[in-house]
Structure 1
Amino acid sequence: MDTNLLGTQVIAQIGIVVRDIEKTSQAYADFFGVDNPGWSLTAAADAAQTEYRGQRTEARAKLAFFRLGSLQLELIEPDEHPSTWREYLDEHGEGPHHIAFIIEGMKEKVMTLERSRMPLLQKGEYTGGRYAYIDALKPLKMIIELLENDR
């Protein structure tokens, strides 16, 4: 089979939703024997242009990133506003939220996945690029995140 919907097979990131990012990031730092990276807050809605299930949302989250070889581990503590992070935490509790891939051609990839019955859940902007969460729970049992970085 020659068709690859994303144009890559390399998982760049695993995202985990948590209730207490400070406690959890310290636990991971201790586990891996590395420095705690601290956390940062996602940009406000105006800058992030965050949409969740097709609607604008004020959702923000605290994020902590661990570089583990070629893979990044992202911890996510969502605020109370509607988001894929908040929904997942409320429905499933703490744990794995997504796997992420670095891609090119965000609009085209989202459309391709939607045609394959994997709809867009949430999208937004970050400094230097954009992201999209795709609902691949039925076919792949996981949320997929697409990351497109500006050149």
Structure 2
Amino acid sequence: MEKNLLGTNVIAQIGILVHDIEKTSQVYADFFGVENPGWQITDVVDKAQTEYRGKRTEARAKLAFFKMGSLQLELIEPDEHPSTWREYLNEHGEGPHHIAFRIEGMKDKVMTLDRNQMPLLQKGEYTGGRYAYIDTFEQLKVIVELLENDKK
């Protein structure tokens, strides 16, 4: 395996799958003594350009983001459409889904990871950038998410 595949080792985010984002986000807020950030829903497929396992998907999810110092905690409640979120929640239940890293050069990173037997699971766009979930479960025991923000 090549070394330093992402060009960073700084974890930006931990993603956790949940069945009920409203209930779970309030539990997290109470546990940490912080304000509940509320939740937002991901964009529709035409805007998000969501693909799962190489095919366009209507998948959407409710997301809640907690700022935890230098790390972001993301709660994810997926809808029923095919996605890495739905598949993982169905197979493993609630709990950790991914660790995310901010990167530059999304296409190159995805190709490098694929070359190292870590294929792309899901990708999409969000306001100000893009994401990609990589199947690193066999090697790292967790999915890796790449986050690339547009340059300002």
Same-fold call, TM cutoff 0.5: yes
Please report the RMSD computed on the Cα atoms of aligned residues, expressed in angstroms. Answer: 0.8
**Helix, strand or coil at the partner of 2:138:** helix
Partner of 2:16: 16
Q: Structure 1 CA distance, aligned partners of 2:3 and 2:93?
A: 34
**Length, aligned pairs only:** 150
Q: Structure 2 CA distance, aligned partners of 1:123 and 1:23?
A: 27
What's the offset of the Cα at 1:3?
A: 3.0
The 5 Å alignment of 1:1-151 reads 3-151=3-151
Q: Structure 1 CA distance, aligned partners of 2:41 and 2:58?
A: 13
Q: Structure 1 CA distance, aligned partners of 2:146 and 2:57?
A: 19
Q: Structure 2 CA distance, aligned partners of 1:27 and 1:115?
A: 41
Q: TM-score, normalised by structure 2?
A: 0.98
Instruction: State percent identity of aligned pairs.
Output: 81
- Per-residue displacement from partner, 1:76-118 (whole Å, max 9, x unpaired)? 0000000000000000000000000000000000000000000
**Helix, strand or coil at the partner of 2:22:** helix
Q: For structure 1, list consecutive stretches of 5 or more residues without a partner in the other structure.
A: none
